[in-house]
């Protein structure tokens, strides 16, 4: 059984391109994005790691740490990072786990026998400061991840953790949000949402994003 939303992300100690990582200690009070790759020197993954490096400031604004994984050893990662930096015009600024013994892959259910008995699938996990899994996505090998969507989901999670709202389809920062149906007290609604709201239906109430 794979990890479910709300599960505690398994802790581990593993080698990486930046030394030994003790995962929960490394995360500290940050959010985390852990994403896996089938192998080093693969074309789609090279573009993904390069793009992740370019998102350093975006992640920092959201208190997010990124960490990648493949089953190749550290020596291979170091050489691959040189290629990533050169071909993607960036500098990799996050660790890549060297999961040669499949320890982390087993903890996070990253080996899918129908895809490959030895290589990890391309999964991504968003983990909150309480070490809970908040998002899981598994991509096919042929399709690169949409990191703008990852940032959008993190924005939504951080907003909805702090306010009694949900984000509608295709929501972006600054768009209206939905007041959660469980909030029914009108006085509390006025206090929480002083800009007011628009009731499309009794269960569908839209209000300006409260932290904007």
DSSP 53: H
**Catalytic annotation present for 126:** no
How many other β-carbons are positioned within 10 Å of the β-carbon of residue 44?
A: 17
Does residue 109 sit in helix, strand or coil?
Answer: coil
What is the DSSP code (8-state) at residue 196? -
In the sheet with 31-36, reading across from the earlier edge strand, the strands are 96-98, 64-70, 31-36, 122-127, 133-139
Total residue count of the chain as it appears in this document: 212
Measure the N-to-C terminal CA separation of the chain; round to a whole number of Å.
40
Rounded to the nearest 10 degrees, the angle between the axes of helix 147-162 and helix 43-54 is: 50
Does an H or E element contain 104, and which?
helix 103-107
- CA 208 from centroid of its chain's CA atoms: 25
Give me the catalytic one of 9, 21, 27, 45: 45
- Positions annotated as catalytic residues are 45
């Amino acid at each position: 059984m794979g990890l479910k939303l709300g599960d505690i992300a398994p802790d581990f100690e593993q080698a990486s391109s930046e030394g030994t990582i003790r995962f929960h200690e490394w995360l500290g009070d940050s959010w985390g994005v852990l994403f896996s790759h089938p192998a080093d020197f693969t074309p789609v993954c090279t573009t993904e790691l390069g793009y992740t490096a370019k998102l350093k400031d975006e992640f920092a604004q959201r208190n997010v740490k990124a960490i990648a994984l493949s089953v190749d050893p550290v020596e291979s990662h170091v050489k691959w990072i040189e290629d990533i930096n050169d071909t993607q015009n960036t500098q990799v600024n996050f660790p890549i786990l060297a999961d040669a013994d499949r320890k982390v892959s087993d903890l996070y259910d990253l080996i899918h026998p129908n895809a490959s008995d030895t290589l990890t699938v391309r999964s991504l996990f968003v983990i909150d400061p309480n070490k809970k899994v908040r998002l899981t996505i598994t991509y096919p090998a042929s399709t690169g991840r949409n990191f703008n969507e990852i940032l959008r989901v993190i924005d939504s999670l951080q907003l909805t953790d702090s306010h009694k709202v949900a984000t509608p389809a295709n929501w972006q920062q600054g768009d209206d949000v939905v007041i959660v149906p469980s909030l029914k007290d009108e006085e509390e609604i006025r206090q929480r949402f002083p800009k007011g709201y628009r009731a499309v239906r009794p269960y569908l109430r839209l209000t300006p994003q409260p932290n904007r």
